[in-house]
Amino acid sequence: MNVSRTTIPANPTPTRRSVMLADYVSMIKPGIVLGNMVTLAGGFFLAARGSSNFRLLLDTMLGLALVVASGCVFNNIIDRDIDTRMQRTHDRVLVRGVVRPATAAIYATVLGIFGFGMLALTTNMLVLVAAIAGFVIYVGIYSLYMKRHSVWGTLVGSLSGAVPPVVGYCAARGSFDGGAAIALLIFALWQIPHFYAIAIHRLKDYVAAGVSVWPAVKGIKSTKRQIVISIVGFTIAAASLSMTGYTGRVFLLVALALGSYWLYLAQSGFTTDDDIIWSRKLFVFSIIVVLVISVTMGLDYQ
């Protein structure tokens, strides 16, 4: 597959200026942090079943938010060479030299220490272990190696992205059971079509940066098949949360409706004339899916 390379220089000249608060905020990727808090709350309320300890919820959210923020900053540090070659990321503060890597590393470490410390003091060992596992997978396995060397990097990264609802669940329940396992599967499967939609939309960027994402290595048609398979798996996993008695009929109907329409959108990709517009629609709907699923699973508990 021939994809033209972006015209962004491989090593842009760093731009030095005074560091602002907004620069430090941008490194933690606020959108990612917020999205993880939504899924955490969904898992928490699913496990709490109406008897929520809101102080525990807030402590868990703050602790994990700091951990996720730390992982995002470390990811920014690791991905500096990749970011210089991507249109979407070439103006990040570390690429432009606004913040030095050593300073960012200290910032990430402090965030992580406070995050893990808060989880250790206010939650339970299962929560702490799950948070550590998610952090190690994202920073150590995915960012440092899999993202650069394997098309299976997305699958590995999806496991870390599915940790927040498990953290919320274990915080409220104090144990890891079938509900937590199904939640992990639901949100891991959700990550795959969500990210592949981004990868197709930004394919030129990923090719220019040499990142081994599925569409760059296997092609767009193969990626569309992977998207369809993942959505089918997601829908079955979500439905099983009701089938096993963790949620009610409302969640089941919502999950089937969302999964069916998402699958319809995915299937339409095989006949579309514009993969960019199609992938953007798929990405936007994936955001709707995760928000609605998170809210519904937290409200329609059994």
Rounded-to-integer distance, Cα 116 and Cα 36, Å: 16
Q: What is the mean pLDDT of residues 179-185?
A: 97
Where residue 22 falls among pLDDT bands split at 50, 70, 90?
Answer: very high
pLDDT of amino acid 15: 47
Where residue 2 falls among pLDDT bands split at 50, 70, 90?
Answer: very low
Q: Give 21-299's CATH code, choosing from 1.10.600.10, 1.10.3720.10, 3.40.50.620, 1.10.287.180.
A: 1.10.600.10
* Token pair recorded at residue 202: 């930004």
**Predicted confidence (pLDDT) per residue in 27-59, tens digit:** 999 999 999 999 999 999 999 988 779 999 999
pLDDT of amino acid 18: 61
Backbone angles phi, psi at 133, to 5 degrees: -60, -45
**Where is average pLDDT lowest: 119-128, 134-143, 206-215, 283-292?**
206-215
Domain ranges (residues) in the chain: 21-299
- pLDDT at residue 12 greater than cutoff 90: no
- pLDDT at residue 263 greater than cutoff 80: yes
DSSP letter assigned to residue 5: P
Rounded-to-integer distance, Cα 160 and Cα 134, Å: 4
Q: What is the pTM of this model?
A: 0.90
Q: What is the mean pLDDT of residues 193-212?
A: 92
Residue 292 burial (CB count, 10 A): 16
pLDDT of amino acid 14: 46
Q: Say how many Å lie between the first and final Cα of the chain, rounded.
A: 49
Percent over 90 (pLDDT), the chain: 83
pLDDT of amino acid 17: 55
pLDDT of amino acid 256: 98
Rounded-to-integer distance, Cα 286 and Cα 281, Å: 9
**Spatial CA neighbour of 189 closest among 154, 159, 226, 234:** 234
**Where is average pLDDT lowest: 5-19, 241-255, 263-277?**
5-19
- With tokens 């396992």, the residue in question is 181
- pLDDT at residue 87 greater than cutoff 90: no
Rounded-to-integer distance, Cα 223 and Cα 215, Å: 5
Q: What is the mean pLDDT of residues 112-120?
A: 98
pLDDT of amino acid 208: 87
pLDDT of amino acid 16: 52
- pLDDT at residue 1 greater than cutoff 80: no
